[in-house]
Copies of this chain bind each other. A is one copy, B any other.
């Protein structure tokens, strides 16, 4: 029972900063993807040094609640800074990079195969998915359903049941990352543009171009979600 002998722990400054930060996020109604104020501003308005703000941010970073981009600001990963369902989140974050890596490998090859093997009917399916996504976005939605259909159509057009099976095993996690990705401001329209490029390459029967376009697309998604994870809401 060394705990009993342990002297009382006094509050560290960074813990207080943590509290204020949590309160700020709540009060300001910040959501996932939103940007926190600059460290210098935070330090000034909280009346503490930048080093203390930094310590608090490092804590939030290792807890996966925040993502600090060198030179680009610090962003919320979730809608809150509270740490609740910790362990599961940690486990998922560990696996996410693997999932995204697998996705790149699979979908790049799928796009390549689709460009080679697609029938005209399958090309039409892909185009319809694209149109569907365009409509979704035009109506203000984020386009997740169109996104899903597009990738499903490409997978079907690749005529590889084995690769399709592999995709199935990570489908759930891909769905989650897709949802999160499309929630980023401006992402839906950019995602649509990338889909269009993939579609055109497949239509043109250019496997190399299709693979490259798909790779770029998947990497864009991966970059947004890199080192971060947000449970589906």
Interface residues of A in 54-98 (CB under 8 A from B): 54-55, 58-59, 61-63, 67, 69-70, 82-91, 93-94, 97-98
Q: Identify the interface centre among A55, A69, A84, A88: most chain B CB within 10 Å of its CB.
A: A55
A219 touches B5 (CB 8 A): yes
Q: Could you tell me the distance in whole angstroms from the C-beta of A33 to the nearest C-beta in chain B? A: 7
B1 touches A104 (CB 8 A): yes
Question: What chain B residues lie within 8 Å of A59 (beta carbons)?
Answer: 58-59, 62
B11 touches A139 (CB 8 A): yes
- Whether A30 is near chain B, meaning CB under 8 Å from some CB there, is no
Q: How many of these chains are in the complex? A: 2
Question: What chain B residues lie within 8 Å of A84 (beta carbons)?
Answer: 184, 227
Interface string of A1-28 (1 = CB under 8 A from B): 1111111111110111001001000000
Report whether over half of chain A's contact residues are helix, strand or loop; otherwise say mixed.
helix
- Whether A34 is near chain B, meaning CB under 8 Å from some CB there, is no
B100 touches A8 (CB 8 A): no
What range describes how many residues of A lie at the interface? Answer: 35 or more
Given contacts A62-B59, A97-B2, is CB(A8)–CB(B141) below 8 Å? yes
- Whether A198 is near chain B, meaning CB under 8 Å from some CB there, is no
A105 touches B10 (CB 8 A): no
Question: How far apart are the CA atoms of A10 and B87 in the complex, in Å?
Answer: 25
Question: How far apart are the CA atoms of A1 and B145 in the complex, in Å?
Answer: 11
